[in-house]
Amino acid sequence: MINTTNDPSTPPTQRSIGELVASIKDELVDVVHTEVDIAKKEFTSLGTKAGVIAACAAAVLFLLLSAWVMLLFAAASGLQALGLPAWASFLIVAGVFLLLAAIAGLIAFSFVKKLKAPEVTIETAKGAITAVQGKRHTAPVSYDDTFEELYGKQVSARTASTPTPGAKDEKAPTEDERVGSVRA
């Protein structure tokens, strides 16, 4: 017997399984709606705070940029006070910053050249897809595998799981071919 009320003095009544399931469903729906309402309130509060933070950050950046421009003018004026013409002072300051920008650009470009696709993540995602599709992926993946080894495992797993008549044997691209295709 189940007591369907919160009053302990009420005698318990018997409810059917259907009524119990419906009751559980209704309670779960109420819990989900309550959680969604709580999340909406939290995100609204976070959104408001994020807006204030963004506005303050924009003001700070504007003021810093304004101060930076004044510092550059001060540097050019300082060079002018040393006896250089005004145009030469501003040209020297601009040249220094162009040089710094070129150095930063070269450093960034060297990092871009070294970027690689997340090969292990791609391989494991493909393995998960084949697992969901019910195919067996037999080639284990290691973090120490080179691109060519990963590509070979991918091709061998694909051809082993789905043989296609007349399919040609694929060759793994070299490092130069792969980097060239990323740049294109």
Side-chain half-sphere CA neighbours of 153 within 13 A: 19
pLDDT value for 168: 52
The token pair that represents 89 in the structure block:
């002072």
Per DSSP, what are the bridge partners of residue 2?
13
pLDDT value for 171: 58
Sites in the chain below the pLDDT cut of 50 = 1, 163-165, 167
Element (H, E) at 47: helix 17-81
Side-chain half-sphere CA neighbours of 170 within 13 A: 18
